[in-house]
Copies of this chain bind each other. A is one copy, B any other.
Amino acid sequence: MAQIKKEAVRKAILESARRHFMQRGYSRTTLAQIAKGAKVTISNIYNYFNSKLEIIYALYEPWLLERLEKLERELPPLATPRQKLRQVILAVLRDIPTDQNGFANNVLQAISTRDADEAYSRDLLLKSEALVSAILARILPGDRLWLIEDDRFSHLLFMAFDGFAVNYKLNGPSRRVEAIADLMCDLVLGPAPDLTGVPVGAEIEGIT
């Protein structure tokens, strides 16, 4: 054959892109900046990726899946179904949208401005919803399992995920997301037990 594309170069491009997207967002990051950061010429980037859009897709999938795996690791220490459900909701509506200085928003930037003829696969969305449904299946009591049929509840969460991602960039961290998580827990599991008289902090998730 001949020269082989170097994994190191690809990595360098992705790393530089990630840094810049995080700092300045997708739209305002130029290929010139990415190239400079990766010590590569702009045109050589096109030997590795067909477009700027493809670069962010390459970053997005592993990032999101990693975050969902992290969520799974966080759950076992939590004592009650309520704490676990709350954590799942907060992961999707708060922790992931704010991760990496709002990285999720970059994907929305990219997707919403893409040309109609550029392919877009919703596989990742479907996969993520299924993953969250599987997590919920292990948390919810039997009489609440109808919620996750057809990934309905997960779909709702991921639709709201978009909104929280956009709003994080506009207004900073949401002041109401925890209240919304509690509200959803109440709706799904019934009202929280009255904690009056219970030592402060006992209802907080995490190490007891």
Q: Any chain B CB within 8 A of the CB of A111?
A: yes
Which A110-139 residues sit within 8 Å CB-CB of chain B?
111-113, 115-116, 120, 122
Q: Chain A 148-174, CB within 8 Å of chain B: the 1/0 string?
A: 001111011011111110110111000
Assess the A156–B170 pair: CB atoms within 8 A: no
Kindly list chain B residues whose C-beta atoms are within 8 Å of the C-beta of A179: 150, 152
Our pick among B25, B152, B167, B176 for the contact of A150 (Cβ within 8 Å) is B176
A54 smallest CB distance to B (angstroms): 17
A29 smallest CB distance to B (angstroms): 12
- Report copies per complex: 2
Q: What is the bound-complex CA distance between A170 and B123, given in angstroms?
A: 12
**A interface list, Cβ under 8 A from B:** 25, 27-28, 93, 105, 108-109, 111-113, 115-116, 120, 122, 147, 150-153, 155-156, 158-164, 166-167, 169-171, 176, 179-180, 183-184, 187-188
5 contacts between A and B (CB under 8 A): A108-B108, A150-B176, A152-B176, A152-B180, A187-B187
Which 3 pairs between the two chains have the least Cβ-Cβ distance?
A159-B163, A162-B163, A159-B160
